[in-house]
Amino acid sequence: MYEQVSHSLLNQILEEIKPEISKRNLLRFYTRLGANFYAIHSLFTQLYGERKDFLEQMVRLVEVLATRYIERSADLEALDIEREHDHNWFLAQNWVAMALYADGFAGDLQGLQHRCAYLQELGINMLHIMPMMKCPEGASDGGYAVCDFLDIDARYGTLSDLQTLTAHLRKRKMLVALDVVVNHTSDQHEWAVKAKQGDKQYQDYYYTFPDRDIPDMFEETMPEVFPENAPGNFTFDTSMNRWVMTVFNNYQWDLDYSNPAVFIEMADIILFWANMGADIVRLDAVAFLWKKIGTTCQNEREAHLILQLMKDCCQVTAPGVLFIAEAIVAPVEISKYFGEDAVIAKECEIAYNASFMALLWDAVATKNTKLLSQGIKSIPNKLDRATWLNYIRCHDDIGLGFDDADIINVGYEPYPHRKFLIDYYTGVYEGSPARGQPFARNDKTGDARISGSLASLVGLEYALESNDEELIEQSIKLILLLHSIIMSFGGIPLLYYGDEIGTVNDCSFMQDENKANDNRWLNRPRIDWQKADLHKQHGSVEQKLFDSLQRMIAVRKSVPVFADFNNRELIDTDNEHLFIFIRNHFNQQYEPVLVVCNFDNRPQMLNLSELGNRGLFELGQLRDLATGESPALFKDQLVIPPYRYYWLTVQP
Ligand code: OTU
CA of 299 to the centre of ligand 1 (A): 14
User: What is the b/e burial string over 351-369, where b = at least 16 CB atoms within 10 angstroms of the residue's CB?
Assistant: bbbbbbbbbbbbbbbbebb
The proportion of the chain whose per-residue pLDDT surpasses 90, expressed as a percent, equals 91
Question: Which residue's CA lies nearest to atom 21 of ligand 1?
Answer: 396
How far apart, in whole angstroms, are the C-alpha atoms of residue 480 and residue 544? 10
Q: Mean of the pLDDT values across residues 271-296?
A: 98
* CA–CA dist 473, 469 (Å, integer): 6
Q: Which atom of ligand 1 is nearest to the CA of 397?
A: 15
Check the CA dihedral 578-579-585-586 and report its sign.
positive
**The whole model's pTM is what?**
0.97
Distance of CA 198 to the CA centre of its chain: 37
Query: Cα–Cα distance between 287 and 502 in angstroms, integer?
Result: 32
Whose C-alpha lies nearest to ligand 1, atom 12? Answer: 144
Is 224 an annotated catalytic residue?
Answer: no
Beta-carbon contacts of residue 154 (< 8 Å; ≥ 6 apart):
134
Give pLDDT, residue 634.
Answer: 83
Domains of the chain: 184-254 (3.90.400.10), 566-651 (2.60.40.1180)
Residue 500 has pLDDT above 80, yes or no: yes
What is the tens place of the pLDDT at every residue in 410-440?
999 999 999 999 999 999 999 999 999 999 9
Q: Which DSSP helix (H) or strand (E) runs through 161?
A: helix 159-171
Give the residue-averaged pLDDT of 88-114: 98
pLDDT given for residue 619 in this prediction: 67
* SS3 state at 192: helix
DSSP one-letter code for 631: P
The SS3 call for residue 311 is helix
Determine the average pLDDT of the residues in 121-125.
98
What is the average pLDDT score of the chain?
96
The whole-number pLDDT of residue 432 equals 98
More confident residue, 6 or 616: 6
Contact (Cβ atoms closer than 8 angstroms) between residue 435 and residue 457: yes
Tell me, yes or no, if 533 is annotated catalytic: no
Within 6 Å (CB) of ligand 1, which residues are found? Answer: 141-142, 144, 181, 225, 248, 284-285, 287, 326-328, 395-397, 399
Cα–ligand 1 centroid distance for 213 (angstroms): 27
Q: Could you tell me which residues come within 8 angstroms of residue 6 by beta carbon, excluding any fewer than 6 positions away? A: 37, 38, 41, 42
pLDDT digits (tens, 9 = 90+) for 543-574: 999 999 999 999 999 999 999 999 999 999 99
> CB 17: neighbour CB atoms within 10 A?
16
If one residue of 101, 132, 144 were mutated to test the ligand 1 pocket, choosing by the most ligand atoms within 8 A of its CB, it would be 144
Closest residue to atom 8 of ligand 1, CA basis = 141
List the 593-598 sheet strands across, edge first: 568-571, 578-583, 593-598, 645-651, 621-624
Q: What is the CA radius of gyration of the chain?
A: 25
